Amino acid sequence: MTEQFAATPSPPYYAVIFTALRTAEDAGYGDTADRMSELAKTMSGYLGIESTRGPEGLGITVSYWSNEEAIAAWKAEAEHQQAQERGKREWYLHYELRVARVERAYSGPHGRTKPGSDRP
């Protein structure tokens, strides 16, 4: 991912916060995760994604969406539904998924250029 931060617009918009602990084996997870990142970008209302995973297997992915309808359409997307099912069966020991309405947003520190971006 060349851009680690999501270039979201002014609030309000929506965030899907997905916290997950992986199983030990990859079993196609990496390829599917990459494919889902690309597929999400093609969805109407997609605003961006921020994702990281620590050495102990805990991952947090936050995807940003214009509205609830866009989130519902992404949840129902056919290829994404297959990935969700594999995730439940094979890839995740546990996950928490929260849908939240972003009310306020800030960037910092002031005076530094954002890495990987041409924006100040």
List residues binding a copy of itself (CB under 8 A).
4-6, 8, 11, 15, 17, 19, 21, 50-56, 58-60, 62, 87-89, 92-110, 112, 114-115
How far apart CA 119 and CA 23 sit, in angstroms, is 38
The four Cα atoms 6, 10, 16, 20 give a dihedral, to 10 degrees, of 40
Minimum CB–partner distance for residue 10 and a copy of itself (Å): 11
38 or 89: CB nearest a copy of itself: 89
42 or 94: CB nearest a copy of itself: 94
Residue 109 burial (10 A CB sphere; 0-12, 13-18, 19+):
exposed
2 or 42: CB nearest a copy of itself: 2
Minimum CB–partner distance for residue 31 and a copy of itself (Å): 18
Contacts with 11 (C-beta within 8 Å, 6 or more apart), sequence order: 102, 103, 104, 105
